[in-house]
Amino acid sequence: MRLSFTLPFFLVAALLATSCRDSGPTGTNIVTRELPESQQSFRLVDSSAERFRYQKRDAAASTESAPAASSAPELIYTTPEGWEKQDGSMMRDVNLAFGENGEGECYVARLPGAGGGLVANVNRWLGQMGADSLTEEEINALPKKPLFGQPATFLDVEGDFSPGMGSTEVMKDYRLLGLILASDAGAVFVKMTGPKTLVGENADAFDVFTSSLDVSLN
C-alpha cells in the first residue's frame, strides 16, 4: 500500500515542476551563446519601414485596393465635357455621370467568355426600357458603330426605364443609347441612360466617348 501512494506523489511533484514545452534558455537572467555559422549574418537595413516590412505591405495594400478590372488591360478614353468620373464597380470598368444632378450615366462593362450573346442582351435592355423584344434578324439589321475598332451593335430606345436589379422604381421618359460588341475574347457593353432630353443633348458626346475607347498596351 505504501508503494502505491508514492506514485501519485511523484506525479504531483512532476506537475508542480515548471513545465517547459521546449528546451532552450530558461530563467530570468541574460545568458550568452555562441552563434553558429548559419546564424551569423543579418540583413542590415536603414529604415524602420523596411525593418517592419512596411513598404511591401503598403505596396500590397495599394494594389489590393485597385479594382479587379486590372486583371484585364487598362482602358483609356476621352471624357466628354460635362461628364464626371464615378467610382467603378466590380462590373463597370468605366463609370461616368452627367447632367445637373448626375441623373445621366454611362458605363462600360466587360464580360469574359459567354456573356449570353448579342440577342439576349439587346432584348434585356429593350425589356428594361419597356420596349418589345426583337428577333435575331431584326437585331442583326440594327445599325453598327465602331467600338475598339470593331463594328458593334447600336441601340437607341426611348421609354420608361426600370433598371430592375433590386430597385423597383420606374424612371419615366428615359432614353437609352447602347453599344454591344460580342467577340470571342468576351463581350463589351457600353450603356448610356438618362432623361430623354439630357441624353439627346449628350448623344454626340456618346459618340466621342465610345470612339475614343481604347486598350492601353502597358
Partner 1 sequence: MASKPIDWSPSNWPKLLYQFFTSFKVATAIFVLMTIVTLLGTLAQVDQGLYAAKVKYFHSFFFTDKIFGIPVLLPGGLLLMLVLFVNMTLGALVKVRKRWKGLGPLISHFGMLMLLAGGFVTWAFGTDGYMALYPGMSSNRVESYRNWQLEVFPLDENGQAKQAWILPSDELQSIRVDEQRSYDADGLPFDVIINGFTKNATPIPVTANGASDATGKEIDGFKLAPQETAKEAEQNLPGAYVAFDPDGEGENAEAILWAGSYRFDPKEDPMPFQFTVDGKNYGAMLAKKSWHVPFEVRLDEFIFERHPGVSTARNFESRVTRFSEAQETSLEIKMNEPMRYVGYTFFQESFGPPDGKPGEMFSQFAVANNPADQWPLWALVVTTIGLGIHFCVMLIDFIVRSRKKTSAAPSS
Partner 2 sequence: MKRLLLALLFSAFALPGLVSARDLPKSLLPSYEPWDDEVVHTFENLLVQEGGRVKPIYSVARFTLMQFSGKTTASFQTVDGVDHKLHYAEWLLNVLFRGDVAKDMPVFIVDDSAAVVQIGVSPKAKRDRYSYNELLAGRAKLAELGAQFAEKEKKYQDSEKDPQYELGRVEGMILTLGRNISSFEYLIGQFGFARQGELLVNENILPEELTELAKRLDVVEMLERMPEMTLDQLVQAVRSQPGTSEDERMFSGALRLFFFHANTARGLNLFPPQEADNEVWLSASDVMIGALGSKEMRPWAGEQLGKIKVLVDARNESPEAFATELTNFAEWQHSISDPRGEGLHSDLEVQMYRDKPFYNALVCFIIAFVVMAFSWLTPGSKTGKVLILIASLIAIAGLVLNIYGITLRSIIRQRPPITNLYDTVIFITATAVLLGLLIEYFTRLGVGTLVAILSGLMGMFLSMKYEAKEATDTITQLVAVLDTNFWLATHVTIINIGYAAGLVAAIIGIIYLTGRFVMMLMGKQAKDFFKTLTRMNYGVICFCLFFALVGTVLGGIWANYSWGRFWGWDPKENGALMICLWTLVILHGRMAGWIRDLGIHMNAIVLAIITTFSWWGVNNLGVGLHSYGFTEGVWGALYSSWGVLGVFMLMGVIVWINERKKKAMKKDDTKAGEPVPA
- Enumerate binding residues for partner 1 (CB under 8 A): 1, 4, 7-8, 11-12, 14-15, 17, 19-36, 38-45, 48-54
Other C-beta atoms lying within 10 Å of the C-beta of residue 94: 20
Q: Does 148 bind partner 2 (CB under 8 A)?
A: yes
Among 67, 102, 127, 200, binds partner 2 (CB under 8 A): 127
The answer to whether the beta carbons of residues 82 and 198 sit under 8 Å apart is: no
Which span sits near partner 2 by CB under 8 A: 32-40, 75-83, 114-122, 197-205? 114-122
Question: Which of partner 1, partner 2, none interacts with 187 (beta carbon under 5 to 8 A by kind)?
Answer: partner 2
The answer to whether the beta carbons of residues 191 and 106 sit under 8 Å apart is: yes
The answer to whether the beta carbons of residues 153 and 144 sit under 8 Å apart is: yes
**How far is Cα 93 from Cα 73, in angstroms, rounded to an integer?**
10
Among 108, 126, 157, 182, binds partner 2 (CB under 8 A): 182
- Residues between 58 and 77 that touch partner 2 (CB under 8 A): 73
**How far is Cα 183 from Cα 147, in angstroms, rounded to an integer?**
11
Give every CB contact of residue 154 below 8 A, 6+ residues apart in sequence: 142, 143, 144, 145, 177, 178, 179
Question: Which of partner 1, partner 2, none interacts with 118 (beta carbon under 5 to 8 A by kind)?
Answer: partner 2
Among 67, 102, 117, 200, binds partner 2 (CB under 8 A): 117
Binding site for partner 2 (CB under 8 A): 73, 90-91, 111, 113-121, 123-124, 127, 148-150, 182-185, 187, 215, 217
